Amino acid sequence: MCYVYILKCSDNTLYTGWTNNIEKRIKAHLEGKGAKYTRSRLPVELVYVEEYTDKISAQKREYAIKQMTRGEKLELIKDSK
């Protein structure tokens, strides 16, 4: 499985990524070993996850989410709860 996820950073910004191992990836982010963007914005909180059966679909969805405005991302997060 592949996952697209959104993290809320300590400065209240949002980070979107994809992975094939969500637990390992979140742990890496929290340890400062994730994306360069999140390293200086710790701690981070997982606020949204989508599951996909293949890498290409996950990457396409990640790109689509990254094109959204902050408001649209917040709506996506809100609607998932």
Strand order in the sheet with 14-19: 14-19, 2-8, 45-52
pLDDT, tens only, 21-57: 999 999 999 999 989 999 999 999 999 999 999 999 9
- Rounded to 5°, the CA angle 44-63-2 comes to 70
Domain ranges of the chain: 2-79
Q: Looking at residue 60, what is its pLDDT?
A: 98
Pick the CATH number of 2-79 from 3.40.1440.10, 3.40.50.150, 3.40.50.2000, 2.70.150.10: 3.40.1440.10
- pTM (two decimals): 0.94
